[in-house]
Amino acid sequence: MGNFKNKVVYQVYPKSFCDSNGDGEGDLKGITSKLDYLQELGVELLWSTPFFPSPQRDNGYDVSDYCAVDPRFGTMEELEELIAEADKRNIGLMFDMVFNHTSTEHEWFQKALAGDEKYQNYYIFKDGTPDKIPTNWVSKFGGPAWEYVPSLGKWYLHLFDVTQADLNWKNPEVREELKNVLRFWKTKGVQGFRFDVVNLISKPEIFENDDIGDGRRFYTDGRHVHEFLKEMVRDAGIADMTTVGEMSSTSLDNCIRYTAPKEQELSMVFSFHHLKVDYKDGDKWSLMTADLMKLKDIFCTWQEGMQAEDGWNALFWCNHDQPRAVSRFGNEDKYWKESAKMLAAAIHLMRGTPYIYQGEEIGMTNPHYSNHHQEWYHCEGRSADEAHESGCKAGRCCYCSRRRC
């Protein structure tokens, strides 16, 4: 699984990292232009969030083509240049694979909508009528997790946005298609993969209502998830690559299985329990002062538990889904520098592989937008100067948030 235990991973969000042509959005050439800086930092793996063709309903996590480059970010030739130039500096590229679902604009889903039964079986469709939803499961984005297609007389499952249809991993043809995606990028010289919400890929044999929750207990760390991961890693030939799985609402026991070398699944995992210590009554939209003793206890449990069973943690405070740690857990006014250094030391001195989100190395804080409209327009293409003139905090506002944040 590669020599990942002594590396530092740096995450870039291409849309906001570096704009090479002045159009207001970051791009692949912008990332290439900063490789010397990243090398100087000591970065050895560079994880990029998705830059594949996408309608951008979930900022690229709604993929319509896994093996192409969205023109807004550049070309395949520019991507190949990025991989080659990074390699010259001993920096490997890690790509983000969104394999739980595709965009409904993906060719597979469009063929399913056209009535092709082969491609309908690529997704999770259920026969029914508009007045009878298959289950009462709730989407991660709110509302029901099912959408009705009148022309087909069927419902399809979408655990996230209505335009993100869940793939049917029970179908071996689907699994083979996804292995081919990994083979394609491995041939291009990619050295690692991050798998988005990969512990949700195994759905139950029987779909039933959840009378005590939102449905997640039926599909999180599902019955066949370890089997699917072993098969994917083995058949796609990525056992020698660095891999990390994003694990939604997971457990320590499962994460040990995902990462223990004897299991031959993943190199490491992201878990999120430590980032819920400021949720009032467990509600992410109702914040409170972070419970630092609880934070310490969670780190202790996961550090000791993973070490005891030879598992491996991906260590992080920030990413494209999370607020800035200095603002969240530190004091960004009186003790900004001290807070940033303290948080960095905590991540780098624990057992695991540290992940640094763009700007974290300079202690970036939350942008403190006064309204959502302000942020949206800057992300949609205005220059930093234009945003600044209208009151947006240019220089900070390039870190756009995703809808699931």
Question: Could you tell me whether strands 125-127 and 154-157 are parallel, antiparallel, or unpaired per DSSP bridges?
Answer: antiparallel
pLDDT score for 405: 26
- Which one of 147, 246, 332, 375 is the catalytic residue? 246
> Rounded to 5 degrees, what are φ and ψ at 134?
-60, -45
Which token pair is 63? Answer: 């993929």
pLDDT tens, position by position, 335-384 = 999 999 999 999 999 999 999 999 999 999 999 887 766 544 434 333 43
pLDDT score for 284: 84
Q: Is 87 an annotated catalytic residue? A: no
* CB 319, CB 358: distance < 8 Å: no
* CB 261, CB 268: distance < 8 Å: no
Rounded (10°) CA dihedral 349, 353, 359, 361: 30
- Which one of 25, 62, 147, 196 is the catalytic residue? 196
Which token pair is 313? Answer: 């943690």
Mean pLDDT across 206-225: 97
Which token pair is 387? Answer: 């945003």
**What DSSP string describes 156-215?**
EE-SS-TTEEEB-TTSHHHHHHHHHHHHHHHHTT--EEEETTGGG----SS----SSSSS
* CB 330, CB 290: distance < 8 Å: no
pLDDT tens, position by position, 64-95 = 999 999 999 999 999 999 999 999 999 999 99
**What are the residues facing 146 on neighbouring strands?**
157
Where are the domains positioned within the chain? Answer: 9-100+182-389, 101-166
> For the chain, what is the mean pLDDT?
92
Taken in order 351, 354, 360, 362, the sign of the CA dihedral is: positive
> Residue 189's closest CA among 318, 91, 57?
91
pLDDT tens, position by position, 179-206 = 999 999 999 999 999 999 999 999 999 9
pLDDT tens, position by position, 253-282 = 999 999 999 999 999 999 999 999 999 988
Burial tier of 112 (Cβ tally within 10 Å: 0-12, 13-18, 19+): buried
Among all chains, which residue has been given the structure tokens 């996230």?
Answer: 160
Q: Is 333 an annotated catalytic residue? A: no
Q: How many CB atoms lie within 10 A of CB 365?
A: 20
The reply to whether 101-166 shares the fold of 9-100+182-389 is no
Q: For the chain, what percent of residues have pLDDT higher than 90?
A: 88
Q: Does CATH number 3.90.400.10 belong to domain 101-166?
A: yes
What is the separation, in whole angstroms, between the first and last Cα of the chain? 31
Mean pLDDT across 289-295: 96
pLDDT score for 368: 87
Compute the distance between CA of residue 348 and CA of residue 172 in angstroms, rounded to an integer: 40
For the domain bounded by 9-100+182-389, which CATH number is listed?
3.20.20.80
